[in-house]
Amino acid sequence: MRITTWNVNGLRAALKKGLLEWVEDDPPEALCLQEVRARPEQLDEGALQRLSEIYPSIIWNPAERAGYSGVAVFTNQPALETGAGIGAPRFDSEGRVIWLRYPGFTLFNIYFPNGGRALERVPFKLDFYAHLLEVCDDLHAKGQQIILTGDFNTAHREIDLKNPKANENNTGFLPEERVWIDRYLDKGFVDSYRALYPDRIQYTWWTFIANARSRGIGWRIDYFLVSKTLHERVEDVVIMDGVMGSDHCPVMLKMSEDGES
């Protein structure tokens, strides 16, 4: 099974920049999008029809505020159960989470909050990390395996961004943000990309300012955190940094079917 995550920075804009053609060329079994900033009725009907032909199951969780946040999952692997949110209205009103329960795991598509340029949203962001981890702890305690994917809005280690020293006081690389990635890893998760490629330098997000992408000045903030026992089935994590259309690039997890080597 292939699961791809992509913060599209506005689905309507991404569709005009070739997202549909990219999907049609080699569609993953599940496509998790963040920051869609649109409701399905706002999309071009022809584009939505073409997506529906590839993906019979499409799940939306838009934010209450128009043109803000929002996540969607497109899949041709029907889930046993699906839902939106993490049971906390102050987070769920922003359309940040969709979950799908499959026979062997539960998949979460997540758009983590940004801390804000003036750091005014950092407490909200940290509270979101904490509440989600409580949800995951409960699922792990029940014997469930989990895949967390999406835009985490945090670079974990210095290797995960081009200019760590210059960003020590900026949201996305604050110590109090980074420690939450550690806490997830301490609670039974594996950063599958970093486990497979401990020394590889690749990024998943680049600011639009000063041609950062072409100059290789980026951050790795889009992840697959996978339960340790499920990580054994992970075959690869591919950062598709050559795919354009957003300030983020897609990241794909390749996982064997249960019981396959």
Q: Which pLDDT score is estimated for 258?
A: 73
Catalytic residue among 44, 138, 151, 199: 151
Q: Which pLDDT score is estimated for 257?
A: 85
Average pLDDT over the chain reads 96
3-state DSSP assignment of residue 74: strand
| Residue 151 annotated as catalytic | yes
pLDDT in tens, 157-168: 999 999 999 999
Strand 189-191 with 222-227, pairing: antiparallel
* Span 211-237, average pLDDT: 97
The pair of structure tokens assigned to 40 is 């399905």
Q: How many whole angstroms separate alpha carbon 231 and alpha carbon 245?
A: 30
Q: Are 12 and 246 spatial neighbours (Cβ–Cβ below 8 Å)?
A: no
pTM score over 0.95: yes
Residue ranges of domains in the chain: 2-255
pLDDT in tens, 69-105: 999 999 999 899 999 999 999 999 999 999 999 999 9
Confidence of residue 261 (pLDDT cuts 50, 70, 90): very low
132 DSSP assignment: H
pLDDT at residue 107 greater than cutoff 50 = yes
Q: How many whole angstroms separate alpha carbon 6 and alpha carbon 28?
A: 12
Architecture of domain 2-255 in CATH? 4-Layer Sandwich (3.60)
